[in-house]
């Protein structure tokens, strides 16, 4: 893959070419897995256990070499054998090769939704917090690999709300959430607004949809297209309900013509009017997938609305290639790995368009996690099964080791205790 074009330093406000060289590609660029991963999860991973009645939940992974950083709603972490307990405040780290929990332990007073490693070894944390290590920081903070707060980094525009996604893209720290601008491109060293993104995000799909926000976004591997999802009705002055695509140009982001008008259709659950929950690009950038909640489609909308379902899009078309329905259960996460599309949530089935909180004709049991053939849109036989709980909110693909990381609030995975965190390796050929 050819490297994407570099954005000029006048936009970034970054002084050194060395930093740019470390940050040319998206931190979350899609990774390919040529085969389906194992159903059995590794026995070496730490356990994220419920703490003082709080249902702990893993929301984000970020790997740097042999170290995995984990964020979410996290209190106590145990070693794989569940013999040692470590107190942590919503973020921790462990060694991938051994599972050993490391000393990284910044005190973050709210959920961590995003972790962005920097070229100098530091990390940007995003979330719903208001303080780090006892210092006021709303939604965005930068810490060293030892957990020390960088007091010179202050996230621009974080007057209210929080951050639910962040990625390093071509030297820009792109962040999204419910803060006033909802989508910004910041200087990753200082947190200052670069001005690269000036796309007003406004409106709400319903009075009970909560704050206007860009909940999640994904950038294609070339770093030239961004798809965002959330609660909004207009982006960049164009009508866009729940999803939009932006083109990432040399000097600024501009709106793309892509849009699926059927995303204006509501699902059957009126309490979930903004129902998209995750987005991910394929490794070749040819497709992207969406995952959703919302309960089942309304009468006449089956095959059009993406309700409690996964869908795969060609960015040149405003209709998905396929939609795979759960029949009434939420999907929180999606990972498009090439031949396989993995989905996580608290679903009971896939291939269930006729189900209504039930197994319809042809439904395939896939409790908590499943996999879909990217070409046919049908569930494949991979079926480890996991505790459903609220559901798997993050699926994270890595190349070393090659496999799929699953973050959730579920205790069991394929019949073994893998509390809230599991890794399924890709078998060798």
pLDDT digits (tens, 9 = 90+) for 200-222: 999 999 999 999 999 999 999 99
Residue 8 lies in a domain: no
Nearest to 428 by CA among 10, 33, 4, 13: 33
Mean pLDDT lowest among 24-28, 311-315, 396-400: 24-28
Q: What is the dihedral of CA 352, 368, 375, 429, to 10 degrees?
A: -140
Structure-model confidence comparison of residues 120 and 72, the more confident one: 72
Strand partners, 127: 112
Domain containing residue 90? 24-425
pLDDT interval class at 29 (50, 70, 90) = low
Average of per-residue pLDDT across 93-112 = 98
pLDDT of res. 4: 31
* Mean residue pLDDT across the chain: 93
Average of per-residue pLDDT across 393-402 = 97
Residue 324 lies in a domain: yes
pLDDT of res. 209: 98
Backbone angles phi, psi at 218, to 5 degrees: -140, 145
- What CATH number has the domain bearing residue 324? 2.130.10.10
Residue 14 lies in a domain: no
Residue 408 lies in a domain: yes
Residue 142 lies in a domain: yes
Residue 5 lies in a domain: no
Q: In what order do the strands lie in the sheet with 309-313?
A: 276-281, 288-292, 309-313, 322-325
Q: Which tens digit of pLDDT belongs to each residue from 131-157? A: 999 999 999 999 999 999 999 999 999
pLDDT of res. 428: 87
- Please state whether the peptide bond connecting residue 401 to the residue before it is cis, i.e. omega within 30 degrees of 0: yes
Residue 56 lies in a domain: yes
The count of domains in the chain is 1
pLDDT of res. 343: 98
Average of per-residue pLDDT across 71-80 = 98
């Amino acid at each position: 893959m050819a490297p994407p074009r570099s954005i000029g330093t006048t936009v970034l406000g970054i002084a050194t070419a060395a930093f740019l060289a470390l940050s040319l590609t998206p931190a979350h660029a899609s990774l390919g897995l040529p085969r389906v991963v194992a159903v059995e999860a590794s026995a070496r991973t730490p356990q994220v256990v419920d703490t003082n009645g709080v249902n702990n939940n893993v929301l984000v992974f970020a790997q740097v070499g042999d170290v995995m950083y984990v964020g979410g709603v996290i209190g106590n972490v145990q070693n794989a054998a569940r013999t040692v307990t470590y107190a942590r405040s919503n973020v921790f780290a462990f060694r991938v090769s051994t599972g050993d929990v490391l000393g990284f332990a910044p005190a973050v007073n709210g959920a961590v939704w995003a972790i962005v490693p920097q070229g100098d070894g530091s990390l940007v944390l995003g979330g719903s917090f208001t303080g780090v290590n006892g210092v006021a920081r709303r939604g965005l903070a930068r810490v060293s690999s030892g957990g020390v707060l960088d007091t010179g980094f202050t996230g621009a525009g974080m007057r209210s709300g929080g951050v639910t996604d962040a990625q390093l893209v071509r030297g820009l720290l792109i962040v999204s959430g419910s803060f006033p601008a909802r989508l910004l491109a910041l200087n990753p060293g200082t947190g200052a607004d670069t001005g690269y993104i000036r796309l007003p995000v406004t409106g709400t799909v319903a009075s009970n949809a909560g704050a206007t926000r860009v909940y999640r976004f994904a950038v294609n591997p070339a770093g030239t297209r961004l798809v965002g999802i959330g609660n909004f009705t207009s982006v960049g002055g164009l009508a866009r309900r729940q999803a939009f695509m932006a083109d990432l140009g040399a000097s600024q982001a501009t709106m793309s013509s892509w849009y699926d008008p059927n995303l204006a259709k509501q699902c059957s659950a009126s309490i979930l009017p903004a129902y998209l929950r995750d987005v991910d690009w394929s490794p070749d950038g040819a497709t992207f997938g969406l995952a959703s909640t919302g309960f089942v489609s309304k009468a006449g909308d089956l095959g059009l609305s993406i309700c409690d379902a996964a869908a795969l899009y060609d960015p040149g078309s405003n209709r998905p290639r396929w939609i795979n329905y759960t029949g009434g259960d939420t999907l929180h996460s999606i990972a498009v790995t090439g031949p396989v599309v993995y989905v996580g949530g608290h679903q009971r089935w896939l291939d269930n368009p006729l189900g209504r909180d039930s197994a319809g004709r042809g439904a395939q049991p896939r409790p908590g996690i499943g996999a879909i053939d990217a070409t046919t849109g049908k569930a494949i036989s991979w079926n480890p099964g996991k505790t459903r709980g609220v559901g798997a909110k993050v699926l994270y693909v890595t190349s070393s080791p090659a496999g799929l990381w699953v973050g959730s609030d579920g205790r069991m995975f394929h019949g073994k205790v893998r509390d809230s965190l599991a890794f399924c390796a890709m078998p060798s050929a």
